[in-house]
């Protein structure tokens, strides 16, 4: 599978990262194994999970996604070839929200056990914690790096200025810096002032920041739960702004010209984004979705098509 650099780490990771949020919970073990096999057969090695996935689904308490990924890697004996990302910071049953040092250490140990591994390749602060001093959080993360439990650090759901503040602080202390940022990001732009609870959408400020600093943006919820192609899924109201019609017209026109689906064009538009490619968090619940989504790697958008997509509704 095509790879892209992960920030300034020198590491290259799969251009489509497989989000396994629903694996091992809403999607049962057999189907989860099958979909992870398909991704791996296509050369994919980059997996995204979190300690809390997916406690909000009835019958589950969190951790099941890490568990099925860990079990799959053990059964397939492929851990050494895979690049595994997990996260800490949101609450789930028995665990409070936050990024205090003790929470980071304890949750990391639990994630390592569930993943059946000695090291997490990329460990994210899942959400900013404005009540804990940044120094406490960053020092705790750095300690995980030098004790060998974590290789790289990422942030998620941070405002650009908080990310910059954290990175400067880490640099000053010679601690490992966040190399990437995982935010909500799709082709439609949120209306001005739109909010998503604790989730933070990548805005122009953040896009400019990551491009300038060599920080990688990873995009979650890129397909808006399938809304671009499925009549049964409406677009969240936050995305129905003054430019949304123009954006959808451009998206569908480019899809028609390339013979690709709108979903594939969105992934391809992110991966080909210049100067800083964006890595989409790909989710697939069945074979048809996996086939379509992996097919995005075969889609090449021309410079003109990229510009039309970028500028639509501007």
Residues at the site binding ligand NAP, with contacts judged by CB under 6 A: 19, 21-22, 48, 126, 156-157, 182, 199, 220-226, 229-230, 263, 281, 283-285, 289, 292-293
From the centroid of its chain, how far is CA 248? 23
The least CB distance from residue 174 to ligand NAP, in Å, is 27
Report yes or no: 167 and 206 within 8 Å, Cβ to Cβ.
Answer: no
Least separation in angstroms between residue 133's CB and ligand NAP is 23
Q: Among residues 91 and 172, whose Cβ is nearest to ligand NAP? A: 91
Min dist. Cβ of residue 171 to ligand NAP (A): 24
CA dihedral 125, 128, 131, 132 (to 10 degrees): 30
Write phi, then psi, for 145 (nearest 5 degrees): -70, -50
Token pair 């300034």 is found at 8
Closest distance to ligand NAP from the beta carbon of 284 (Å): 5
Q: Where are the beta strands (DSSP E) in 15-74?
A: 17-19, 46-48
Q: How far apart are CA 111 and CA 142, in angstroms?
A: 17
Distance separating alpha carbons of residues 230 and 242, to the nearest angstrom: 22
Task: Name the minimum Å distance from CB 314 to ligand NAP.
Answer: 24
Alpha-carbon distances of 76 from 80, 81, 139, 215, 280, rounded to whole Å: 11, 11, 35, 32, 25
We find the least distance from the C-beta atom of residue 49 to ligand NAP, in angstroms, to be 6
The smaller minimum CB distance to ligand NAP, of residues 135 and 285, is found at 285
Q: Which is nearer to ligand NAP, 88 or 223 (CB)?
A: 223
Q: What distance lies between CA 218 and its chain's CA centroid?
A: 5
Nearest residue (CB) to ligand NAP, 103 versus 293: 293
Helix (H) or strand (E) holding 264: helix 262-271
C-alpha–C-alpha distance, residues 50 and 110, integer Å: 11
Least spacing, CB of residue 172 vs ligand NAP, in Å = 27
Determine the angle formed by the axes of helices 160-173 and 134-146, rounding to 10 degrees: 60
Q: State the residue number with the nearest CB to ligand NAP.
A: 19
Residue 267: CA atoms inside 13 Å, Cβ hemisphere, count?
Answer: 25
DSSP 112: H
Closer by beta carbon to ligand NAP, 81 or else 230? 230
Minimum Å gap between C-beta 293 and ligand NAP is 5
Residue with Cβ nearer ligand NAP (226 or 313): 226
Q: Which is nearer to ligand NAP, 260 or 309 (CB)?
A: 260
| CB of 10 or CB of 196, closer to ligand NAP | 196
Which is nearest to 135 in space by CA: 90, 95, 101, 87? Answer: 101
């Amino acid at each position: 599978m095509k790879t892209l650099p992960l920030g300034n780490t020198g590491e290259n990771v799969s251009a489509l990262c497989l989000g396994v949020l629903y694996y091992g919970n809403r999607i049962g073990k057999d189907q989860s194994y099958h979909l992870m096999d398909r991704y791996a057969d296509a050369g994919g090695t980059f997996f995204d999970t979190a300690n809390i996935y997916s406690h909000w689904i009835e019958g589950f308490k969190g951790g099941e996604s890490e568990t099925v990924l860990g079990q799959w890697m053990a059964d397939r004996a492929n851990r050494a070839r895979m690049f595994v990302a997990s996260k800490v910071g949101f609450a789930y049953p028995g665990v409070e929200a936050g990024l205090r040092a003790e929470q980071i250490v304890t949750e990391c140990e639990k994630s390592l056990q569930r993943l059946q591994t000695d090291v997490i390749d990329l460990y994210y602060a899942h959400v900013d914690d404005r009540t804990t001093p940044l120094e406490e959080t960053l020092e705790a993360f750095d300690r995980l790096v030098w004790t060998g439990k974590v290789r790289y650090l990422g942030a998620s759901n941070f405002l650009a200025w908080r990310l910059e503040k954290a990175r400067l602080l880490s640099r000053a202390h010679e601690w490992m810096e966040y190399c990437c940022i995982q935010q909500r990001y799709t082709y439609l732009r949120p209306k001005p002032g739109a909010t998503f609870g604790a989730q933070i959408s990548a805005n122009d400020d953040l896009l400019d920041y990551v491009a300038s600093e060599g920080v990688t943006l990873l995009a979650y919820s890129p397909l808006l739960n399938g809304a671009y192609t499925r009549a049964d899924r409406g677009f969240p109201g936050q995305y129905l702004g003054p430019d949304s019609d123009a954006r959808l017209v451009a998206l569908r026109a480019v899809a028609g010209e390339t013979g690709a689906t709108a979903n594939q064009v969105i992934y391809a538009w992110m991966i080909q984004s210049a100067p800083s490619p964006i890595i989409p968090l790909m989710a697939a619940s069945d074979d048809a979705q996996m086939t379509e989504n992996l097919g995005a790697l075969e889609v090449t958008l021309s410079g003109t098509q990229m510009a039309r997509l970028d500028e639509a509704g501007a």
